[in-house]
Chain A
Amino acid sequence: MYCRLTLLKLEIKRFVGMLPFVLLETLLFGLIAVGVGIYASKAVYADKVIGKIKAGVVVEGEELMTKMLVQFVQSMDSLEGTVSLELLSEGEARKQVEKGELYGAVIIPDGMVDSILSGENLSPSILLGDGYNQAETLVFAQLAQAGAKLLTTAQAGIYAADAFCMEKGMQDRLQQTEDYLNEAYLGYALGRASVFHREEVTAIKGTSFSDYYGISFVFAFLSFAGLSFGRYVQVKACSRKKMLCLKRLFTGEQYLIETGAFAFVFSFFGMLVSLPVFFILSHSKDSTFQAAGTWFFLTGMWLVLACFLKMLIQITGNSAGGIGVCFMVLLAFIFASGGFLPPAFLPVWMEQAGSRFFYRGWMEKTGMFLQGRIGSGAVLELIVQLVLFLIVGVLAAKVRKAAEK
């Protein structure tokens, strides 16, 4: 036991001595990661980054229903941050589109609502300027179609009612039924704008964007710090390790001792880095963080992260190539889990893949701890993960030793 404690103490001393180098290397990794992150975001979204869309609406004639429709679209809260609609005359709209002051304009022809209801289907015209990009055009086109779709749905309802009247021999009631349905449907549909009022997009359940980015920054930073430690981790079965085996300190025990020391130093380092970040964030206006004793559960989070990183390094090896593979794996994990962009903004396949990686869960749990909440399920899950990473790490160490023979 004394020799195990001695080795643990010495390994802790070794990792502590590396902290200044690790910090420097992490900053370097961080810079690369930020570069790759930005590049990857651009690769995923190309030029789809959405700015605020300014569009004009031209309503020809004085149709009440059309104006209601425009007001309905304008009142949708979910569009408020993305789109600003302006009611203009056609001449003014064309001028502003040409000048590039508007991305485009929708010209709603006189009697459009009636035409849709009657099946004639007058389409709105869309004017597009040169200063638009793909995503904005898509959003704009969707908006223009949204109104038409709303009315088309009503039309389907009316056709159904017509069919019902014909089948039941109530042809004389057709016009009355259509008028009633038109009024009722639009009355209900346009009055239901409240449905869209609270379509909130959140990165991590119940956290603000600044909280979210704080958490993802800390995770990315610590992950790359762990990678910097990787260079100093003893992965190969060197003569020393083999000789320690002769002293009855076997491969598995050696792995656990080194991981224990690494995790101890890493979790201390993690608290040192994360607490100030989260503390500052907790004072921001929209923060959901609340300083509480549960913050110390973060130590456990960093312990789990340390064991995960150690396991990863043990599997890939800590040669330049191994660390490179580790770096790419981490980058992919963090990106897919929403570390650079919130999951809501990721492509669906990536979002789904990311939900299976540990990082998403860790970020959610971190948010929970920072909000002063502890779920026994979350703690249990972390313990299970910790044990799993240790077991896999020990197996990887044994496999590597056997392979080196």
Chain B
Amino acid sequence: MEVEIKNVKKSYRKNKVLKEISLMIKAGECTGIIGANGCGKSTLLKVLAGIEKADGGEILINNQPVKWQSSQLAGYVGYVPQESVLIPELTVEDNLKLWASFGEHKKNEEILRRLGEQFQLEDFYRKKVKHLSGGMNKRVNIVCALIHQPFLLLMDEPSTSLDLVFKEELREYIRSFTAKGGSVLLSSHDEGEIAGCASLWAIKNGIAQKVPQGETIEKIVSEYMK
């Protein structure tokens, strides 16, 4: 499934964060969004996830318009925000149970079991979230986003606070996810992550522009991320 967003606008009071964002997320590809701090990367992901309401623009999935913040869109998208969505006083298992309880919960629990194995969470099920390391917390957040099997995974700086081993595992997971036809849109400052993206979009002054293929990391950093 291909996702296309056209002329997305978003302002916070008088601050126009996204002026006119248009970009394409191809099926089976990992697309990256880059830009300086505060350029609107997270806002764009929030708008796509439905957490924030777009002021204008449209989203097309396989060339079909989909309503912003609709349950249809929510069904397609899995979102891993920067801040944790977990309840710190509860165990990992309890948190996962909560996110599995939406929709077909029996089926979700089965998916959860598989994801738990894949992300090696079994040993942490009984642990309270507030006692998890940052990396483990992120893993659980990713699993929460994957429970309802989205085809578009939105990740806001996913490798923040992850150790090298898990960063590599995450990249591997993204590769396998896209290999199965899923799409990933991630915002990042991590060079390794950026290098792993099939296409890159840079946001500057509220407008997205495609980064030409074959640009060196040094040029990307100097031109688009400062």
> Hey, which bits of chain A sit against chain B, CB under 8 A?
2-3, 6-7, 10, 13-14, 17-18, 232, 238-240, 242-243, 246-249, 405
Contact = CB atoms under 8 A, between A and B. Distances in A.
B97 interface: yes
A238 B87 CA distance: 11
Top 8 A-B pairs, shortest CB-CB distance = A6-B101, A3-B101, A240-B85, A242-B51, A239-B81, A246-B74, A247-B102, A14-B89
B13 to A, nearest CB: 9
Nearest to A238: B83
A390 B119 CA distance: 41
Contact of A6 (B69, B79, B81, B97): B97
Given A246-B51, A247-B74, A10 B102 contact: no
Contacts of A14: 87, 89-90
Nearest to B82: A239
B185 interface: no
A10 B90 CA distance: 8
Interface of B: 12, 49-52, 69, 71, 74, 79, 81, 83-87, 89-90, 94, 97-98, 101-102, 105
A10 B98 contact: yes
Contact of A243 (B12, B71, B79, B101): B79
Given A240-B86, A242-B51, A13 B101 contact: no
A402 to B, nearest CB: 11
A10 B97 contact: yes
A17 B89 contact: yes
A2 B89 contact: no
B89 A18 contact: yes
A7 B89 CA distance: 13
Contacts of A10: 87, 90, 94, 97-98
A243 B79 CA distance: 9
Contacts of A7: 98, 101
A284 to B, nearest CB: 40
Interface of B is mostly: loop
Contacts, number: 55
B111 to A, nearest CB: 15
Contacts of A240: 84-87
Given A14-B89, A14-B90, A243 B105 contact: no
A260 to B, nearest CB: 16
A6 B98 contact: yes
A389 B90 CA distance: 27
A6 B51 CA distance: 22
Of the candidates B51, B71, B74, B101, the one having the most CB atoms from chain A within 10 angstroms of its own CB is: B101
A57 B8 CA distance: 93
Nearest to A237: B51
B11 to A, nearest CB: 11
B71 A248 contact: yes
Contacts of B50: 246
Given A6-B101, A247-B74, A13 B51 contact: no
A3 B102 CA distance: 5
Nearest to B69: A246
B142 to A, nearest CB: 14
Contacts of B89: 14, 17-18, 232
Given A238-B83, A243-B79, A246-B74, A13 B90 contact: yes
B85 A243 contact: yes
Contacts of A239: 51, 81, 83-85
B82 to A, nearest CB: 8
Contact of B101 (A2, A18, A232, A248): A2
Contacts of B105: 2-3, 6
Contacts of A247: 74, 102
Nearest to A6: B101
B76 to A, nearest CB: 12
Nearest to B13: A405
B6 to A, nearest CB: 22
A9 to B, nearest CB: 9
A243 B147 CA distance: 14
A238 B74 CA distance: 18
A261 to B, nearest CB: 12
Contacts of B101: 2-3, 6-7
The listed residue with most B CB atoms (<10 A of its CB), out of A17, A240, A247, A248, is A240
B102 A13 contact: no
7 contacts: A6-B97, A6-B98, A14-B89, A17-B89, A240-B85, A243-B79, A246-B74
Nearest to B73: A246
A247 B12 CA distance: 24
Given A13-B90, A232-B89, A243-B81, 20 more contacts: A6-B101, A7-B101, A10-B94, A10-B98, A14-B87, A14-B89, A18-B89, A238-B85, A239-B81, A239-B84, A240-B84, A240-B86, A240-B87, A243-B49, A243-B51, A246-B49, A246-B71, A247-B102, A249-B102, A405-B52
